[in-house]
Structure 1
């Protein structure tokens, strides 16, 4: 099944020069570090996301090479934690079969994963689906129930850590959105009571572009580079990237979200949407449309 992925993610605060990545480099890395797959066809996958250059390796595998140093921890993180989480989750997640090392001038770890068939979820297909809203709530409920007590250094940053960048982004977008409404929402989200229960797992980048569908139904969640533990409000972003007001209400009820957590979730949606908008909108009209929807839906509530 053909998968079209027009994905974006927040730019890290500091990004070094992107190394030169091409098919010849990918093939040399595979051939020397995973010789059992050296004979498989390797084809570039496009369009990929902002974090990785992706190649399809044979019919069953993919190769992902980070584009910048903000993405270099994903391979090892997914290799360590996804095998522990996957048995408890109702949707498929990536299965890493190898983590490669720096070589041939390429400076970072990289990954070989099982290929997940499917098409990236779209607003047109799923925004009105109450079934999808319930399925996403079920995925998050299952994720939040997994013991997060031995997670080392995966503690997520609080919403307040986004304050300077978010206020700066509100100023930068000018008249594209209602700056007074954004400031009011942001102030309200920061003032909302914090998460005072034990920390739970969060995906961390839970938006439309990281959901796959098969035959029109949700089938997988991908891209766990921002996986961490802390406040579950961070994963409410999907309610504003994908859902309508009606299906958002279904999602919230199924997930049983209290008012304070929902308000913080709107704050996360606003902050991440603004970050992506100011980073990508001028050069990528598709991202502009996606993040504009996220921001306006967060303001709507």
Structure 2
């Protein structure tokens, strides 16, 4: 005789409790339903087609344990170990930030700029005796920015629009000070079949050469930019704080990246940085004070200033 279940819980019952559970925990509703699908190893249609499915004891225990961890501040992506970004799948853990949708704006703007250079007379000085152009991603973390850009450039496209960018004509260099983060990034490059990328352990530019052949046509970064005293950091304690917050009202690392970029960026090259919603004016001034032109700030999906770009002339 089969022993009775300790808890008889169906998909429908969980769905009926999602709103109250998410509200009480202060987490997005989709975290709970996505976690349920992960535990059951089912596609999203299962939530509609199989509402009467009754979880096994082990499934319920795993589901309930995960919800408890989310209530304690552990993000869904750390429970599943992965996060989608730019149509690719990335492994993440406690050593890396979880990729955010707004960071796709940074990827998109860099690709659009590269496309424009391919369609017009470029002002970038051509590297001597070197076919490949070079792109640097500072503070790569999971590698989501570098790998997404490298993926598009290896395809010979920028986003959904084909360009005249030659396949494999770009070499991407991804830098991070954390050896653990770089291990994750290397794995993500491998699983996404990205080969036109090199990983370097370095604190920003420190371990990079400055000779002419090593200059970059594009430097991109999503650095720490949250003020160290910002109360929102309390909700992000599961993620590496060193990758989130910075001194000087959150501007210290951005200031360093901009000021130190000149020996590493080719004339006519692009610098693109993600920043806080209220830092646009300050970041634009940093660009202008350090010799950048065509400086502009792009908004994220919420209409907030999020990415500033400028060319070095």
Whose radius of gyration is greater, 1 or 2? 2
TM-score (norm 1): 0.31
Which structure has the highest strand share of the two? 2
TM-score (norm 2): 0.30
Which structure has more RCO (C-alpha within 8 Å, separation ≥ 6)?
1
